[in-house]
Amino acid sequence: MSTVTPTVPPQRGEEELSLHNDWFPSGWMHVLPRHHALLLTMLFGTATVRQLRGNLDTLAVQVFGDEPGRGISAFGDEGLDSPLLWLEDDDLEYAESPEDAAQIRADAEEHQAWFEAALRAASLPVPSTVRELAAVMESFGIVQQSEGRWSVPYHLPRPENVLALPDEILARLQSLRRHLTIEPAKQALLSYLADSLGYPAAVSTSLDRLERATGCSVDELREALDYLADEEDYGTKLLRGDPAIPVRARDLAVHARFQICMDWQQINENTINVQLG
């Protein structure tokens, strides 16, 4: 395939790499070999933003450069033909003991095994190099090319719609997406309680009051409140009545008064966005 130099003028931030907004919500980082898949999705995303053209090798040089130690060698010593990594050296830095290190290695081996099994079940080739992984990602619809121009769709396909995945991975993807959906309302709630109300141990409120205070919808607030109450890390209780009994936000009427009881020390230890003053 011949190389075509982009005809569009240089854009602001052209030297920056672009990562698709849907990459993390899609869940592919939990399915594909994480390190090389992330580099490839940045390659494809940047090529889309810059409207680059060319074959995969040309694309890699245009986006990452070809300087030793800085350019396409980021994929490995052999560039796009480098073997896939299922375990990075950095992964083992989190190991606190030889047993932890052994578990990390075992998890990486298990990840590789079920991914390759899912590909075989779908009659798809099992990649062994970065270049082959790029071809697999294209077959999944994560990236598309036409006449040398590469692009990523607005919404990435979901792994479970492409591959038959283990139940454990499906549950992990479901939990990930619920967390990402709830996070904006959760942070808005915590910021309101901390910054506007001064870290109260308990506050009497209602969903409509919280809606006005946070700008989040009632449905978003119900999800976020129940999430905070369900997760032990946040030490949050929703109570109503006299004597007070636990309630679910999803069961509350919009104008019903209820109490939010907060353990701010516990929240502070498990949340990076809200800190005790």
Cβ atoms within 10 Å, residue 233: 12
Q: What is the distance between the alpha carbons of residues 235 and 228, in angstroms, rounded to a whole number? A: 8
What per-residue confidence (pLDDT) applies to 276? 35
What per-residue confidence (pLDDT) applies to 74? 85
State both tokens at 44: 């494809």
Cβ atoms within 10 Å, residue 261: 16
Spans in the chain with pLDDT lower than 50: 1-14, 273-277
Q: What is the distance between the alpha carbons of residues 195 and 188, in angstroms, rounded to a whole number? A: 10
Instruction: Note the pLDDT tens digit of each residue in 219-256.
Output: 999 999 999 999 888 889 999 998 999 999 999 999 99
Instruction: Select from 125, 146, 165 the last residue of a domain.
Output: 165
Q: Which of 275, 266, 188 is nearest to 224 (CA)?
A: 188
Domain range for 248 is 173-270
Residue 226 lies in a domain: yes
Q: What is the distance between the alpha carbons of residues 244 and 263, in angstroms, rounded to a whole number? A: 17
Indicate whether 58 and 184 sit together in one domain: no
Q: What is the distance between the alpha carbons of residues 134 and 203, in angstroms, rounded to a whole number? A: 52
Q: Residue 222 sits in a domain of what CATH number? A: 1.10.10
Indicate whether 82 and 43 sit together in one domain: yes
Indicate whether 210 and 233 sit together in one domain: yes
Residue 13 lies in a domain: no
What per-residue confidence (pLDDT) applies to 65? 82
